[in-house]
Amino acid sequence: MMEDVLKQIFRYDGFRDGQRQIVESVLDGHDTVAILPTGGGKSICYQLPSYLQTTGLTLIVSPLLSLIEDQVMQIKRRGERSVAKLTSLESRDQKDHILRHLNQLRYLYLSPEQLAVPQIQQRLADIKINLFVVDEAHCISQWGHEFRTEYAKLGSIRKQLGNPTCLALTATATNQVEQDIIQGLALTQPNRIRHSVNRPEIQLIVEQTEQNEKDAVLKRRLKTTNRPCVIYTTTRKEAERIAAFVPQAAYYHAGLEPEDRQLIQQQFLHDEIDCLVCTSAFGMGVDKGNVRTVIHYTMPATIEAYMQEIGRAGRDGQPSTAVLLYAPGDPQLQQFLADKQYASLLWIDQVTQSRGQGESFESIEQRLHLEPDDPAYRLLKSQLKEGKTKSQIIDWQENRKKIRLRELMQMINYIQNTFCRRAFILEHFGEKPVVQDRCCDNCGTLTVDEPVIEVDVNQLDWKRRLEEVFFSSRPSV
């Protein structure tokens, strides 16, 4: 029966490793934590069960607009109409229309922030939810503590929705992150299905250089870099600067207008752009199989983030390459960005004292010139609303900073490690080392790409491209 649906609906002849086990687990009503490598076909694990259940909604909580857009587009391409999304792109009228027709949907995608909206929760509580899916569930641990505190509320929201069966999916999770997921979602004796994080098709390279030579190193590497290619950098400004000197490249970050982000993502997916320079706002789960190279212009803050981002390469199983450029000063940048996520001691003192005197948050924000959308202030405000005291907030922040520093040191150790890089990563995730060809620069078993032949790319204007993309898809409710 499952194989029939897999063939008829999804056009696959058989399940990949782990997929059947996960589908059977959720169909039996078991909360499930599933760890599959990037490119392992996680979307099948929650999309297929809906065709074996006569009624009910599959609710998918997803972290990024680009990921939601890509998943919805993929579903529509196979002719499925019963899918909708609630994101920042939908107008109030569009959202109201979707909420009125929830019982006609098979899938609903939304972010944790949208799920936290009381009106949306109230409407969802009135319908049958077959499966509560948290895609990229490592974000509960990675982001739920700091700047996206809505992730920390998913467990309580799920309870308010009647505790539907929960499926938490991710490609990268240490044992500690797995425990954070189980605790954050309040899972009851979940089935744990874990497969190796190893991506044997990706060879691993670290090139150490000086800060003022990075651009030259990148330009040299790009001359022999197989494309399509993704270049990750830390800041929006850096992404725009690099895209300006890389031939046939576009940049992507959260500061772009939604229409521009949609256009650029679709152009990249359709091979109209063969090099994308981006921040972490792009990538998780985006289904482009033929990315041949991922380059990190600056180091990520954690090994988990690194594995997520290099996982954009080689999803078709063909030989691919991950290159990390490292220069002294990179860790200081990551430390600076991490520290910005926490309120200063002065803020904590001023705000807690003012709240103790009965002053409203709105009054405090105006008097102290605090931006309500500042991540550090939002976090502080959330903690005070939860009833935390000044000393509890300070102690919590110090503990979190220690954890972030430890994660950063693990990433530095990976870079400076002189033994097998693949073995280092596998050990980090509690796995045994493997021996393979095309492994890493330390093992010396790399293959060298041939010089790139540059081809002119005819880029479409965004209005025409959007019309083409959406006209070819069947409308959703």
Of 84, 455, 475, 65, the C-alpha closest to 260 is 65
Closest by CA to 124, choosing from 140, 137, 108, is 108
Task: Please give the domain boundaries of the chain with CATH numbers for all domains.
Answer: 2-195 (3.40.50.300), 202-333+409-468 (3.40.50.300)
Q: What is the pTM of this model?
A: 0.81
Burial classification of residue 241, based on how many CB atoms lie within 10 Å of its CB (0-12 exposed, 13-18 middle, 19 or more buried): middle
β-pair type (275-278, 249-252): parallel
Q: Count of CB atoms within 10 A of residue 30's CB?
A: 17
- Positive or negative: CA dihedral 303, 308, 311, 312: negative
Quote the CA–CA distance of 13 and 3 in Å, as a whole number.
8
pLDDT for res 471: 43
Of 210, 211, 169, 220, the residue nearest 192 (C-alpha)? 169
Q: Is the peptide bond before 319 cis (omega within 30 degrees of 0)?
A: no
Ranges of beta strands (E only) in 81-148 are 83-86, 107-110, 129-134
Burial of 24 (0-12, 13-18, 19+ CB in 10 A): middle
What is d(CA 84, CA 476) in angstroms, rounded to the nearest whole number? 6
d(CA 84, CA 98): 7
As averages over each run of 10 residues, the pLDDT of the chain (477 residues) reads: 85 87 94 84 91 90 82 88 89 92 94 91 93 90 62 89 94 86 90 91 96 95 93 94 93 86 87 91 72 95 90 91 94 86 92 94 94 87 90 91 91 96 94 93 80 45 48 39
* Longest CA–CA separation in the chain, Å: 68
CA–CA separation, 98 and 173 (whole Å): 34
Question: Across the strands, what pairs with 275?
Answer: 229, 249
- At residue 449, the pLDDT reads 59
Per-residue confidence (pLDDT) for residue 49, from 0 to 100: 93
- Cα separation, 304 vs 291, whole angstroms: 20
Pairing status of strand 191-194 against strand 57-61 = unpaired
C-alpha 67/C-alpha 77 separation (Å) is 15
Among 307, 297, 302, which Cα is nearest to 408's? Answer: 302
Per-residue pLDDT at 215: 96
What's the rounded Cα separation, in Å, for the pair 11 and 13? 7
Look at residue 423 and give its three-state secondary structure. Answer: helix
Residue 300: partners with Cβ closer than 8 Å, 6 or more residues away: 232, 280, 306, 309, 334, 411
Count CA within 13 A, CB hemisphere, residue 79. 4
Q: How much of the chain is helix, strand and coil, in % rounded to 5? A: 45, 15, 40
Q: Which helix (H) or strand (E) holds 74?
A: helix 65-77
Q: Indicate the SS3 state at residue 391.
A: helix
In this prediction, residue 165 carries a pLDDT of 95
339, 401 contact by CB (below 8 A): yes
Sign, CA torsion 364/370/371/373: negative
Cα dihedral value 239, 240, 242, 248, nearest 10: 110
